Amino acid sequence: MKGIGDLGDLRGRRVLVRADLNVPLDGDTITDDGRVKASVPTIRRLTEAGARVIVTAHLGRPKGVPDAKYSLAPVARRLSELLGQQVGLAADTVGEGAQKAVAALSDGDVAMLENLRFDPRETSKDDAERGSMAADLAALADVFVSDGFGVVHRKQASVYDIAQRLPHAAGGLVAAEVEAFSKVLDAPERPYVVVLGGSKVSDKLGVIDNLIDTVDRLLIGGGMAFTFLAAQGYGVGGSLLEADQVDTVKGYLARAAEAGVELVLPVDVVVAEDIAEDAVTDVVQATAIPQDRKGLDIGPASVDLFRGKLADARTVVWNGPMGVFEVAPFAAGTREVAVAVSQVEGTSVVGGGDSAAAVRQLGLDEDAFTHISTGGGASLELLEGKSLPGLTVLDD
């Protein structure tokens, strides 16, 4: 796919950038600005080239109509701070306000359109409706740059249809994401270890199915581990269990054994009666969880086991926390496994979503990892071996 350097001289040209700025908010305060920061290098490269930059993004899930609580105003303010220049927010998405904001741009200026999902056409399943919005967006610009990796798995007007209407290229963030995942999926150095966590095994079935025959080791933590333990015949107490996936998981256990893949489960877990900051916790064997307790993190012996399985890895992909890391008594497993991943003397890729959030929330050094993805859903679909519409449309 083309990069920004393939677009020629951009001075004076209107460049529409699709970014992923879907950040968590507490009122109008951004609680994690990682995605905003990730958008800065591409936007700055364009402004330094003299382009007139039009940033587009969505926030939350408004129901196709303007809703003040989903306004991009807090994001525009934060982006202004990070860029060191004013980012004006248009009064609407593609209407008169957007047209005025774009017309007022000079070379090197940046404007942001309001939340794309204020317009129902953005996410419509109807090709003609999406195409109509894409045409409205295209009328505002001369060039399209796709830099929102977190949305490239969506066939949406500002992601897919717009690229069919304007000269286009991948932004630096999307290019870096594609390069990182291509490296671990197409030609991984070995030993190749994948660490999967998160609450539900059903969320990771596609990843397991795609990778189980190619990895050397598969480490399973988080809530999804309890369905694996149940598939081996163990009780899991009050822990999260997807009973309807037990037979599927039995099949994966058999496939791993047949392929010679080490499938590593926790040997101990941190249990409590419920999730709370002041919870009374115990560490028990993973095969002996009390009926009245819930497993909420992997235990210290499991941390040591996982650390050992990561020690000689040359390629590691980590997707999903080891426990309820947002609550202090259940954060240690995720923290220690993340540190072990960061110490790998090879390629370490963090698969976005909760894993990326955990790295930031737990105060870990982001630079210690080879790559931290900005797109949880998009990274999962790449790991599942799927083609993503927002990427395939750039391949021409």
> Annotated catalytic sites, by residue?
35, 200, 353, 377
Residue 24, CA distances (Å) to 35, 264, 383 in order: 10, 33, 25
Reading the block at residue 35, the tokens are 């995605």
With CA atoms as reference, report the closest residue to 30 among 67, 88, 73: 73
Residue 117 assigned to a binding site: yes
Is 204 annotated as a binding-site member? yes
Nearest in space to 145 (alpha carbons), one of 39, 33, 72: 39
Two tokens at 343?
A: 């110490």
Residue 354 in marked binding region? yes
Distances (CA, A) of 138 to 99, 125, 204, 344, 396: 12, 19, 36, 44, 18
77 is in an annotated binding site: no
Residues 6+ apart with CB under 8 A from 283: 268, 269, 270, 271, 299, 300
Beta-bridged to residue 170, according to DSSP, are 3, 146
**Is 60 annotated as ligand-binding?**
yes
Q: Which residues pair with 347 in a beta bridge?
A: 315
Peptide bond into 74 cis (omega under 30): no
Is 158:141 a contact under the CB 8 Å cutoff? no
Is 22 annotated as contributing to ligand binding? Answer: yes
Do 373 and 352 form a contact (C-beta atoms < 8 A)? yes
Is there a binding annotation on residue 353? yes
Give the CA distances from residue 17 to residues 20, 116, 151, 241, in Å, rounded to whole numbers and listed in that order. Answer: 10, 12, 13, 42
371 carries a ligand binding annotation: no
Q: Which tokens go with 112?
A: 């942001």
Binding residues for ATP: 204, 295, 326, 352-355
Binding residues for (2R)-3-phosphoglycerate: 35, 117, 154
Binding residues for substrate: 20-22, 35, 58-61, 117, 154
Binding residues: 20-22, 35, 58-61, 117, 154, 204, 295, 326, 352-355
